Structure 1
């Protein structure tokens, strides 16, 4: 009996040792640049939590393989839930583009101008060896105002076969969406009439 238990333990340990390692990816690694104090804008932004499609709201990478089939990759995972990854990456890209600070969950100075940016990700598609796609509906509103600008940005980036390249493609797509948002905020801050 003891011998059978020892053999079972050895086999179980051998099975654990042979399982492939998990890899974790982040969309915000290397995103954005810290603004220099001299370049700091006279306003703030607030980027609350984003929404993502239910099928991609999981830690594993979900990839499309064509013909409508999708594969859930157990060993390839996001460092945090995709909604949090996208929010952080957008925050870094938008604030880097505008030279401002994201004050979400942080008190802003009294009477400061704050632009709230709400984002709903309609599509977040990962096709290794083909493309990374982000389709986002976003809005910008100055806190305290009822006027709102609502736009849609779709960014599709070609990618290589590896998962590192796929994630880098999503980073580039987020940078493109962030540039659209930053352009609208910049126009609002100067009193211009922004358009999508």
Structure 2
């Protein structure tokens, strides 16, 4: 009986060592975002909310494996909720694109523009592309401007690291579209 204990212990330890390791991902912010050329933004912008659908709201990074199936990764997860990461990086990217403008994720007093974004796609796809889609609504002086966005960017490198970096680049492009709209409205 006692001679089986080391064998059982060895089997238990080998089973533990073969379990996949969980990786956590945080969206990188743009290192150098080119500023939008145009007039100065004088009205502060409140990024009120970035919402995501249920399939993106979980912890796992999402990959579309064929035209109808999505896989939510069990061992490749977001380090913090995706909607929060999207809102924080949007504020940073808009601030970089609109130097001197006050961009915030908290209300900015009585007079401010309000931006709300609904993300419907933020995932990898079976053809090697990263998909970023949805719409944003900008409220300026009581007027609403609604704009859809759809990007399918080729993934520059394989794996989840490459996917997250490509998604971040696409999100930066969406921020550039919003920054141009803010300039037009001011």
Tell me the TM-score normalised to structure 2 length.
0.81
Paired residues in the alignment total 180
| TM-align CA RMSD | 2.8
Distance 1:9 1:141 in 2: 63
Distance 1:89 1:3 in 2: 58
Match of 1:137 in 2: 135
Structure 2 residue runs without a partner (length 5+)? 35-39
Q: CA deviation at 1:73?
A: 1.7
Match of 1:172 in 2: 169
Q: State the secondary structure of the residue aligned to 2:124.
A: strand
Match of 1:115 in 2: 113
Match of 1:94 in 2: 94
Match of 1:83 in 2: 83
Distance 1:31 1:146 in 2: 31
Distance 1:146 1:32 in 2: 34
Distance 1:32 1:141 in 2: 28
Distance 2:48 2:2 in 1: 58
Distance 1:187 1:32 in 2: 25
Distance 2:19 2:113 in 1: 48
Match of 2:68 in 1: 68
Q: CA deviation at 1:138?
A: 0.6
Match of 1:155 in 2: 151
Instruction: Choose between structure 1 and 2 for higher RCO, CA contacts under 8 A separated by at least 6 residues.
Output: 2
Conserved? CA contact 1:129–1:162, under 8 Å: no
Tell me the TM-score normalised to structure 1 length.
0.78
Q: State the secondary structure of the residue aligned to 1:74.
A: strand
Q: CA deviation at 1:8?
A: 5.3
Q: Which moved more, 1:40-49 or 1:82-91?
A: 40-49
Structure 1 residue runs without a partner (length 5+)? 190-196
Cα 1:6–1:102, aligned 2, differ >3 Å: closer, same or farther? Answer: farther
